[in-house]
Each structure stands twice: as C-alpha cells, then as structure tokens.
Structure 1
Amino acid sequence: MIEEQARVVALEAGAVWVETRRQSTCGGCSANAGCGQGLMDKIGVRASHGHVRALCDLQLQVGDQVVIGIAEDWLLRSALLVYLLPLLLFFLCAGLVQSLGAAEPWVIAAGGSGLLAGWLALRAVNSRLAHDRRAHPVVLRAYLPGTAPLV
C-alpha cells in the first residue's frame, strides 16, 4: 500500500476530498539543471497542493489530518496502461501501414490514429473502473486532534 498524508477539505457520503502536498523529487535527479520540470518547480509555477477523492468509512470533519493509500498493484497497472497502451497502438498502426508499403504521410497518419485509438481505449477502461472500489484511494487512518503532522 502506498501511503500519503493529507488534510480533509470536503465531505461526501462514503468519501472525502483531501488535499495532499506535492513533493518534487527534482533535488535528487542528475538531470535537474537541464530539466523543464525542475525549472518549473524552482520558480513555483506548479501548484504545491493536489486534491484527491478518497473513499472513507470514518466520521471525519473538514480540517482533519488523515493518511490515504492506494494499492501498489493498481497503481502499477494504471501506469502501465496509461503509458504503454497508446505507445503500443502507435507503433502497431504505423508499422502495419508501413509494412503495406504506404508512403510516409500515411504511416504518420496511422501512428496518430493509433495514439487516438489508445486514448479512446483508456477512456473506456477508465469509465469501467470508475465504479471499482479497489481502484480508488482510501482513507487508512485519521490522526487525533493535536497529534497530526502539518500537511
């Protein structure tokens, strides 16, 4: 289970919206000097807080400090799906059209079509997983008032 500390900002039936503090890992990266993301973090362009909806069975109030978590296997599956599916479809479509002897503009168009097909497939999978409780972050525990670290 991957855990993150958060602060409750809104309540829903069976869920809460929490605010997490985004932490950059740019300080430990060897490409920090030439990286656009590192530059954006240094000048403060990116928001430092993110809002996440987490399932919750606890009685919480706005401002409570909690720990949210998501299963590692779901996070890994999601990352593989989001990054690899469009890329694989891009290469598959472009390679198929190229093997048929088509001109380069058609190969490029086929690659773009593969990316679009990957994006549409991801939307379909996402709408199906939206109702699967295992794919959502959950509140694991809440801190007692006065004992929580600041988020």
Structure 2
Amino acid sequence: MIKELANVVAIEAGQVTVTSQIKSTCSGCAQVDTCGSGQIAKALPQAKLTLTLPYDISVTGVPLKEGDCVVLALPEKHILSSAGQVYLLPLLGLITFSALGQWLLKQQILPHELFALGLGLIGGYLGYRFAKFQQKQGKQSENLQPKIIEVLPSPNIVK
C-alpha cells in the first residue's frame, strides 16, 4: 500500500475534503546543490493537492473534524496496473500498426513510406484512446480512488 498523510479541511454530507503537501524527491539527494532539477525544486513553492473523497464513519470508526490528520492509501497493484496500461497500450498500438504499415508497404499496397509512418501514428493514438477509456471504466477508476484508512490523533495545543 502507498500511504500519504493529509489534513481534513472540510466535511460535508458523505464527503470529506483533504489537502496534502506535494513532496519533491529532489530535496533528499546529495547533488541537490549542483543539479538543475534540485535548483528548480528549491525555487518553486511546494504545492498542495486537494481531494474530495467519500466518507463513511463505519470505515474509520472515528468521526472526523476539521484539522484532523488522516492516512490515505492506494493499493500498489492498482497503480502498477494502471501505469502499465497507460504506457504500454499506446506503445503496443504504435508498434503493431507500424508493422502493419511496413507489411502493406512491402506488399506494395501503400504507395509511400509516409503512409506507413502515418499508420503507426494512428495506432499509437488508438492505443492512447483505448488506455484512456480503460482508465475511466467504473472499476478501474474506483480502484484508483484514495481511501481513508486511519485517523491520527490531533495534537492538543496548550496556550
């Protein structure tokens, strides 16, 4: 499971809005002072990610209030599966349609190599559209929705 800490900023009927600090991996490297990416990460302010999630008290067992810190989780296998589809389906479409274009060119059905190249690009685009369609399907989209798995006790501030 991939876990992330977030703060509750709003609670509505059946939904909770949380924010999480987007972390750059460039801050922990030994080359941060000499690397261009590290310099950019230092110069730009850290952004916050805001999510509105469905909330059911029966899952966490603890009622939420604004300011609470929660642990969000995503199963790693769903992320890897989604990444595989997003990267591999367009590549597979490109290679398959390029091979088809070359075969059609060799059979002298296509008059020029540019048509074979265009066919490969069409295959890549169709693979992209198919991957996008797969990601929007109900079950896949549901699997990539972060879930609140734990409510951490909020620190008591003494004045």
Normalising by structure 1, report the TM-score.
0.76
- Measure the CA separation in 2 of the matches of 1:91 and 1:135: 28
Which of 141, 147, 150 does residue 138 from structure 1 map onto?
147
Do the aligned residues in 1 keep the contact of 2:96 with 2:123 (CA within 8 Å)? yes
Matched letter for residue 52 of structure 1: L
- The higher relative CO (CA closer than 8 Å, separation ≥ 6) is in 1
Once the two structures are superposed, residues 65-114 of structure 1 have per-residue CA deviations (whole angstroms, 9 ceiling, x without a partner) of: 11000111111111111111111111211221122214332233223212
| 1:93-145 deviations in Å (ceiling 9; x for gaps) | 12211222143322332232122212221232122136864332100111222
Question: Which ranges of structure 1 fall in alignment gaps of 5 or more residues?
Answer: none
Please identify the structure whose Cα radius of gyration is greater: 2
CA RMSD of aligned residues (A): 3.0
**Equivalent residue number for residue 5 of structure 1:** 5
1:1-150 → structure 2 map (5 Å cutoff): 1-26=1-26, 27-28=28-29, 38=38, 40-44=40-44, 48-58=47-57, 59-101=63-105, 102=110, 103-129=112-138, 133-146=142-155
TM-score where L is the length of structure 2: 0.73
* Greater Cα offset, 59-68 or 48-57: 48-57
Number of aligned positions between the proteins:
145
Is the contact between residue 10 and residue 66 of structure 2 (CA under 8 Å) also seen in structure 1?
A: yes
